[in-house]
Structure 1
Amino acid sequence: MRGRVEDTEGRPVPGVAVVMLDADSAYVAAAASDAEGRFEIVPAVKPYRLLFQHISYELAALSGASGEAGTVTLHERSTGIGAVVVEGERPVVRIEQGRLAYDLQAVVRGKAVNNAYEALTQLPGVSERQGTLTLAGTGSVTVILNGRPTTMDAAQLEALLRSTPVERIEKAEIMYSAPPQYHVRGAAINLVMRRAAAGTLTGEVHGDYSNRYYGNWEAGGNLVFAAREWSADITYSAGQTRSKRLIDLLSRHTLADGTYDIEQHQDLVSETTAHRLRASAEYAPENKGRVSAAYTASFTPRNAGDSRAEGNFVRSSNRPDGDAAMHNLALRYTTASGTDLALDYTHYRTDDRAAMRNEYADGTKRDFDVASGQRIDRLSFSLDQRHEAGKGWEVTYGALLGWTSDRDWQRYTVLLGDFDAPETDSRLDEWTGNLYAGIGRQFARGSFSLSAAGEYYRLGDYENWSVYPQATFVWMPSAEHVLQLSLASDKSYPSYWEMQGAVSYIDGYSEIHGTPGLRPMRSYEGQVVYVLEQKYIFMLFWNETRDHFQQTAWQASDRLALVYQTLNWDTNRQWGANAIVPFRIGRWLDSRLTLTGLRMTQRCDAFHDLSFDRSKWIGVVRLDNTVRISRKPDLTLDLAAFCQSPAIQGTYDIDPAWSVDAGLRWNFDRKRASLTVRCDDLFESGVPFARVRYRGQWLDMDSGAYSRTFTVHFSYRFGSYKERKHKEVDTSRFGH
């Protein structure tokens, strides 16, 4: 049961209590309207009677039997109430149909947060490590938008969310076991975006300058127009990023004829110019369903670099250059009865070139040029349906069919020296078919959902049938005590380029190898979550991945080469506990302490010419603080500290890592303008030192230089910017 509440001037009315009664006037369920006046009640009965209650409006009632209540108009009371000030602490989290729902704007209020991506990292249990979002207690987490999975890789999704104002997000929902209608498995964060108010033209412009050894810039804008039955929006951003990495390698490389001490200093510089464009339109006549279309594109006309290596083994120079483009068209139609149809097409293209020059210590030289490229076309169709079966029961089912055509090639031109160039030219067709069904029920003190998805997968000669169960149970003896149990399973696939036999060269010693026959990995996970007083969160978790794939380094046994390669491990298992404790001191300090302890086990019986089976206890502590400096002017200071104990990754031993971040934000011009200054990893301690001391493998790797990032952000919003977000484009398996 869905609908919308507005006043006599067509403006949405938030905070309206909507109470559902059955034909005998017995209470069934209740809900509250959101910031756009929209509400949804699950479970629902037919016929029903709805009561709409608000302190500033007259009581309204509606009777009917349709699944859509439409728009209900409330009339203001003839007598008003004087100004009343109520101070209290808002709940950090609410349980909504098995999801942990956060008001994201309340979470980041007063913090030095500039966009949706930075806001995500402020959610309890969510953090960012080396450009990847993680959720405590899970193996991985997927970000979905308005209940639909993104089809972008992590870098593109990050870029899009960084150009999205946080005001456009209505709420964030954390699901430790996402139901199959979301077309993702395992843990997910669903961003529910606001709808623009009818008859508005709104927008936002922003600009960023950052410095991480080199200066970088990014600028963009958004424009939204909304009428009563249709809306349209366009978003554009452009930027230039130049980065520098220093990697110091010390390798004691053992061959049959002895051990060689190799020292290499790698200086890696990359420069990228990128443009991102999105345009969409939606037509939603009242009680007649909704149809939408969106075009998303990203263009990288320049993706260049200059990588140099100096050492006692080889002197190398590598100058890569290339360009890439991605186009996506997404169509979606939702009927009034709840049937959801979606069609998605993506085309991706990249062309890369590199000139490698190597001069070895023994006087030999090896010079060559390499050209590589990728062409991907992907088409998918999905159908989803939900039925309310009465007395709180819900039935869901649906299907997805996907096809991908991938072509990858790599060609060498040898200019000098003896070199066996491993050229590739491959074509792959990938097919995916998925059918799912699920049931769920809401009851007075909780809910449960149970589903299973069957999937057929084919890539070349590889075929696989899989079943993915999912279950969530919530028990709420009172509003102060909530217990949630979640079980989920998933399968993840490597990128198309990793599955090729191509070889890329960082320098004359370090190489990156593809892995033909690389298998997808299957994961299983479970969580027990206890929420106390709607703000304290305690968790026990377990997750295990079979055929886990990850890139690690290996000193070749037959020649002097450090090989980075993605291989399948037998298992990667984690289990432990997590606690999130927020606290406040007066009106000037808002803090959150996150504690995680886990046991990690990693095993691989066929790791090149050796095997490993390793375990380690790991502890993580994070403290986030927001200090209110003043209200006039509106100044806030963020201070965050992170610390992780020693860890492992395959044969690597990872040293402890810690970091301190700080940010100062000034809101002015009636909060339409904001200026933020941030410095992340103040002491350049966030990238840990890594070493290998395992069965003849001996390697030191220091890549912690230039991790400090200084950023200045300015944004200006006009027209009371508030809008919704959309399904995006998955390119996680594209690229080299």
Structure 2
Amino acid sequence: MKKITLFLTLISSLHAAGQSGIQDSIPAQELNEVIVRGERPQIKGHDGVLTVDLPAIVREKPVTNVLEALSYLPGVVDNNGSIGLSGATSVTIILNGELTNMPVQNLYQLLYSTPVDRLKNVEIMYAAPAKYHVSGAVINIVLKTPRPLDGLTGQLQAGYTQTRYPSYNTGAATTYALKDWTFDVNWTLSRNKTYSRQETYSNHLVNGQRTMIEDDMRQTGYNLSNLIYASIAYKPFRITYNGQITSDSHNNSLSTGTFGRYINRYSYLSPTGYHNISLRYTSTFGLTAGADYTSYSEDREQKLTKDATTLVRAFNRQTIERYHTYIDMEHQSGRWQINYGLEYQHSDDHSRQSYILPSQEGFNDVLKEDVADAYIGLQASFDSGLSFSASAKGEYFHNDLQHNWNFIPQLGVTYYKTPKSIFQLNFTSQRIYPQYWELHGATSYINEYSSISGNPSLQPYMNYAAQLSYILNQKYSATLYMLHADKYSVQLPYQMPDKLQLLFQTVNFDFSRTVGLQFNAPFDIKDVFNTTAVVNISHKQEKATHFHDIGFDNRRWSFYGALSNTLKPSPGSPLSFSADATYITGQIQGPGKFNPLWRIDAGMKWRFGKQRSCEINLKFNDIFNTWKPKLTIDNAGQDYKLTAHDIARNLRLSFIWKFNGFRPKDLTVDTSRFGTGQ
């Protein structure tokens, strides 16, 4: 808000009065104070891109890092730490327009260690142009570029998280610029201890007779995670390293039920390592070229015991090497831009599984995979307010089990004549590939009754998505969307018809289709209270003619509602409080249905110290511990129920000290295919 006092005095020309001797009959008048209220636009649209001023949205929220800030992005759904985008089947997070090629959990760790003050803005692309080398929906996180005048800037942070068990983390994030050099370093060390609980009731039908099998499984996990991100840029060149080493890892599960008491231990025999190094060149004449190398390794032992008897002792090992390169070119001619490029990726996945118990064969395979594509794109903006981005990509995929050609179109159209109304239309497609480990057909045992098995015949599936969005006053938005996934796949339980055996396996469906409408509306009251309401109404259908030896056609309407509130005692107060509420009706997955869910979250932020460079943030998620998803399958003889407990409730406390450029400027106003699974 700006306060402007306007004085208007009407006088006759003194020179003329002096000449004529005639006095002005209109006296001077002072008008009342005029208050002009102004707001920074939250959403802008251009070329099929929605640019969101996320730093302004989260300024008073109890968030300290970019990952937490993303949950307040319009259209984003934070599903217990997993970022989703309403109106899109899946979303890819990129940094400064570049794909990181990091596994999802590693990317989340990086975003968690990146200070929220590094944010410049965030771009949402429901249909990302092919020049980003990403298909489908994209969230592009644009970070501020360090300048030599800023000096060394950064922050130090320490955090504590309490679920059933405590976890701790500490880290540092710094940037520095010197003439033509820029440096960016993030480091995070975290000690994690997790807990989860699952209750299952499997009313299993075999040879016309049902047997009720109950199980109550409690899982705990421990690890020490060390994440490093370092980037050095000199003029048009930049080299980046990002890596994560997870050590001292072990996961245990205690299962009690119909068949007895089981202890399942997963011990990592060596640190799990992910390392990626990339080189990028950006010219002044439109050429961009880059290459990166990724290495991943995991070595895990499983030991399943019942009472004092060892039932399973197995070893799972995975080593992946991946090479990736690309070259892009852009030409600008007036309002028209043409872009085109090539991309190639090769990976070698050496996975092994061996058994001491039971006496069965494992495998020792090397799976080679090649993906090559070429694209051409076109962008243009017109005086009428119309702008668009369109591209077409041809992709070839090959591994030892299959190969195919894919055509991937993309279209994003925006009509933006005045700030009052923005219209945007998007269409895109995306091919989703299965995890490397699943393609080997590996088997992991949960207990004598339940097991997880890979699927060498698993096929990639195609996602098609279309969205029509309307943004009012660069603030309120509504999105009508349709999603269709052909040959969609997901891991689900299946009761074997000829034996008492529960199988978890990822299989392909005929399709999954969702049609929905979402509304997002923020409101502000005198710089002390802010609330944002989100409503999503959708209809989903999933169909499989052959789900193992049965079929299903499941469909359901659902409602999602969320209310996010922030309160400050006064506009300049160093304290701010938040209270968020979320409710969702039952959803479907495959032949199963989920129960309705609701949760309440609350938080507090306190800024203090010199120039308020220190922050304490406190956040209590799922206060009443009500977010307990329950999956029920009752179809074609399948009768199964699973309830998950303690997956969202946690208390988080963090302390941050910011120095130089990271201090507040105005005090008044990230689907991994890596891993052997469990």
Partner of 1:437: 376
Partner of 1:282: 233
8 Å CA contact 2:350–2:365 kept in 1: the answer is: yes
Q: Distance in 1 between matches of 2:412 and 2:219?
A: 46
The reply on whether 1:206 has 2:157 as its aligned counterpart is: yes
Partner of 1:42: none
Counterpart selection for 1:643 from 561, 575, 583: 583
Matches within 5 A, 1:44-55: none
| Greater Cα offset, 486-495 or 681-690 | 681-690
CA positional deviation for 1:168: 0.8
**Structure 1 residues 481 and 707, CA gap change in structure 2 (3 angstroms):** closer
Counterpart selection for 1:292 from 230, 238, 242: 238
Partner of 1:376: 320
| Greater Cα offset, 225-234 or 700-709 | 700-709
Partner of 2:511: 571
8 Å CA contact 2:303–2:310 kept in 1: the answer is: no
Q: Distance in 2 between matches of 1:631 and 1:438?
A: 47
In structure 2, give the amino acid aligned to 1:696: G
8 Å CA contact 1:176–1:186 kept in 2: the answer is: yes
Partner of 2:264: 318
CA positional deviation for 1:338: 1.8
Counterpart selection for 2:336 from 387, 393, 404: 393
Q: Distance in 1 between matches of 2:276 and 2:386?
A: 40
Q: TM-score, normalised by structure 2?
A: 0.91
8 Å CA contact 1:548–1:568 kept in 2: the answer is: yes
Q: How many residue pairs align between the two structures? A: 634
| Greater Cα offset, 472-481 or 155-164 | 472-481
**Structure 1 residues 448 and 163, CA gap change in structure 2 (3 angstroms):** same
Secondary structure of 1:559's counterpart equals coil
Secondary structure of 2:568's counterpart equals strand
Gaps of 5+ in 1: 1-83, 285-289
Secondary structure of 1:91's counterpart equals coil
8 Å CA contact 1:314–1:509 kept in 2: the answer is: no
**Structure 1 residues 157 and 86, CA gap change in structure 2 (3 angstroms):** farther
Counterpart selection for 1:588 from 528, 545, 557: 528
Q: Distance in 1 between matches of 2:488 and 2:80?
A: 20
Q: Distance in 1 between matches of 2:457 and 2:549?
A: 18
CA positional deviation for 1:355: 1.2
8 Å CA contact 2:451–2:504 kept in 1: the answer is: yes
The reply on whether 1:496 has 2:436 as its aligned counterpart is: yes
CA positional deviation for 1:735: 3.9
| Greater Cα offset, 147-156 or 137-146 | 147-156
Partner of 2:302: 354
Secondary structure of 1:184's counterpart equals coil
In structure 1, give the amino acid aligned to 2:636: R
CA positional deviation for 1:722: 8.8
Partner of 1:406: 349
In structure 2, give the amino acid aligned to 1:443: F
RMSD over aligned CA atoms reads: 1.8
Deviations 1:496-522 (A, max 9, x none): 011111111122222111001211110
**Structure 1 residues 422 and 248, CA gap change in structure 2 (3 angstroms):** farther
Gaps of 5+ in 2: 1-33, 665-669
CA positional deviation for 1:365: 5.5
| Greater Cα offset, 168-177 or 551-560 | 551-560
Matches within 5 A, 1:132-151: 132-151=82-101
CA positional deviation for 1:719: 1.6
8 Å CA contact 1:358–1:508 kept in 2: the answer is: no
Partner of 1:345: 293
In structure 1, give the amino acid aligned to 2:217: Q
Deviations 1:62-117 (A, max 9, x none): xxxxxxxxxxxxxxxxxxxxxx9964222110113321101221111111111000
CA positional deviation for 1:633: 4.7
Deviations 1:381-407 (A, max 9, x none): 1001111022x0110100101100001
Counterpart selection for 1:671 from 580, 592, 612: 612
Q: Distance in 2 between matches of 1:731 and 1:641?
A: 29
Partner of 1:335: 283
Secondary structure of 1:156's counterpart equals helix
Q: Distance in 2 between matches of 1:411 and 1:579?
A: 52
Secondary structure of 1:720's counterpart equals helix
In structure 2, give the amino acid aligned to 1:692: I
Secondary structure of 1:149's counterpart equals coil
CA positional deviation for 1:682: 0.8
Q: Distance in 1 between matches of 2:676 and 2:174?
A: 31
Q: Distance in 1 between matches of 2:415 and 2:456?
A: 47
Counterpart selection for 2:212 from 250, 261, 275: 261
The reply on whether 1:164 has 2:114 as its aligned counterpart is: yes
**Structure 1 residues 85 and 227, CA gap change in structure 2 (3 angstroms):** farther
8 Å CA contact 1:630–1:636 kept in 2: the answer is: no
CA positional deviation for 1:316: 0.9
Partner of 2:23: none
Matches within 5 A, 1:600-619: 600-619=540-559
Secondary structure of 1:703's counterpart equals strand
CA positional deviation for 1:270: 0.9
8 Å CA contact 1:196–1:722 kept in 2: the answer is: no
Q: Distance in 1 between matches of 2:40 and 2:404?
A: 48
In structure 1, give the amino acid aligned to 2:139: I
8 Å CA contact 2:46–2:414 kept in 1: the answer is: no
Q: Distance in 2 between matches of 1:230 and 1:732?
A: 34
CA positional deviation for 1:422: 4.5
Q: TM-score, normalised by structure 1?
A: 0.84
Deviations 1:455-489 (A, max 9, x none): 01101141111111111111123221111111101
Q: Distance in 2 between matches of 1:556 and 1:279?
A: 50
CA positional deviation for 1:634: 0.7
8 Å CA contact 2:613–2:663 kept in 1: the answer is: no
Partner of 1:17: none
Partner of 2:627: 686
Partner of 1:43: none
